[in-house]
Chain A
């Protein structure tokens, strides 16, 4: 159980275009999902917290107008990278926690590798 699915697994886009990444909790409901970014040979960096039915909370230094997050249902959150540039090329990973006690673990998707040319 507790499967998180991301789509697409990889995407190549041209500079200036926008890309949408989907994160779905397949067998549980998630009121909160988290979006991370990982550059080569670095650790995961938290970008934002996605809350169902409300605005996302962004970490310091993450542009909310560039990385649009929508969490319209209890099983789906989307991250849209707007006007992508080569420096946005990275590995984007989402996570969600199944309902239960607060200490239940977060489960991660398999990530989306974005390459902006």
Chain B
């Protein structure tokens, strides 16, 4: 039972920033926000996670609203290889991931 809501699909022009939204209005205080992506016929790839502060790594940035009810994953310069299904998942730290339907991002040349 996924606790997040994501748009089913999005398009992004190559080289532009891709901003993927996620709503998690029922998030609990001990739940982290995790982002994964799945490229066709591969296992999910970890991207980033956070609790309440914004996070950045070599792949992406994660912006979490102050009330923690929503977040945005930002891919700063999308490439064709970023085409994938992106999953936003909230969970306490020591439990398995429950996947929703995610957002299918298509990066267009």
Contacts and interface: CB of A to CB of B under 8 A. Distances in A.
Interface of A: 4, 6, 34, 36, 43-46, 49, 91, 93, 95, 101-111, 113
B97 interface: yes
Contact of A44 (B32, B41, B44, B93): B44
Question: Which DSSP category, helix, strand, loop or mixed, fits chain B's interface?
Answer: loop
Contacts of A110: 42-43
Contacts of A111: 41-43
Contacts of A95: 43-44, 96-97
Contact of B43 (A93, A103, A104): A93
Q: Which of A44, A49, A109 has the most CB of B within 10 A?
A: A44
Nearest to A2: B46
Contact of B99 (A44, A91, A102): A44
Interface string B19-55: 0000000000000101010100111111001010000
